[in-house]
Structure 1
Amino acid sequence: MVERDHDSSFGKFSTASMNNTQEHHMSSSIDNISRRAQELVEKINDGRTGDQKALDSFHEKLVEKVTEACQQMKEHMYRVYEENSNEMQVKLQELSEVLDSCTKLCNELREANQALAGLREGLAIAMKESS
């Protein structure tokens, strides 16, 4: 501990010198803490920048993969559409042929019905004449 002597200039110089040393040491400690805090902030900011770059890269790759998957799905969908269209075309052709046959059979049935109606009339007339 430093003694203070108000009457001697040595005591005053010594106390002032001690205060300056303590203040310099405290100032140096504060500067050191401040510098370290700034370094930590810069390190955190660098980490955040790295995180952002990693996230941006991940985003780009994800968009690329999703786009690629969508393109593959679209191509597959069009192949399935083409296959279905070909199958439907075959089925529609078969249906058209069946409907044509039905139309012909209906016409033949109508003609047969008309022939039977004519035959019945002829038989009815013949029955009247024979009776």
Structure 2
Amino acid sequence: FRMDFFFEDLPSTSQSTPKSRHEESQMTFKVKATSTYMYDNIYCSSRIDDISRRVQDLVEKINDSRTSDQTVMDSFQEKLMEKVTEMCQQMKEHMYTVYEENSNEMQVKLQELSEVLESCTKLNTELMEATNALAGLREGLAISKMSEP
């Protein structure tokens, strides 16, 4: 800061005339006015520095808060991914359990179907044998009717 004092009404040092009361009061007034101006400048500058420092603090707090928010979001994302992965694994395990239960039920049904098809094959064979036997009997009857007079 620069301190400027103006002493316009002061007599020069080469003059030897004493100052009048009026001259002293003018000099004092000008020094006081300059001092008040300097005080106002210093006060204003101090206030600007204070405001600037407070703004900088607020900006730092905002940046810290944003960093904290990012950390919270990263942590949330990580935990969410862990939970989603865990839920997917549980769903897979449940799906495999259902597959296994369905496979067991299908195996039982397939076994029953196999037994029914085997029984059908036996019955079909017996039916074919019975059909052949009946055809043979019919032929035998047809020949015997022809041989009768």
- The alignment covers a number of residue pairs equal to 127
The structure whose RCO (Cα within 8 Å, separation 6+) is larger is 2
**Structure 1: unaligned runs, 5 residues or longer:** none
Verify: 1:82 aligned to 2:100, yes or no. Answer: yes
Q: CA deviation at 1:15?
A: 4.0
Verify: 1:45 aligned to 2:46, yes or no. Answer: no
Secondary structure at the aligned position of 1:109 is classed as helix
Identity, % of aligned pairs?
65
Give the alignment's Cα RMSD to 1 decimal. Answer: 2.0
**TM-score, normalized by length of structure 2?**
0.76
1:29-108 aligned at under 5 Å gives the runs: 29-108=47-126
Which whole-Å deviations, capped at 9, do the CAs of 1:7-55 have from their partners, x for residues lacking one?
Answer: 4153654444333222111111111111111111111111112222222
How far, CA to CA, are the matches of 1:7 and 1:38 in structure 2?
43
Q: Based on CA coordinates, which of the two structures has the bigger radius of gyration? A: 2
Paired residue for 1:20?
38
How far, CA to CA, are the matches of 1:65 and 1:6 in structure 2?
81
**TM-score, normalized by length of structure 1?**
0.85
Q: Greater helix percent: which structure?
A: 1
1:90-129 aligned at under 5 Å gives the runs: 90-129=108-147
Q: CA deviation at 1:112?
A: 0.9
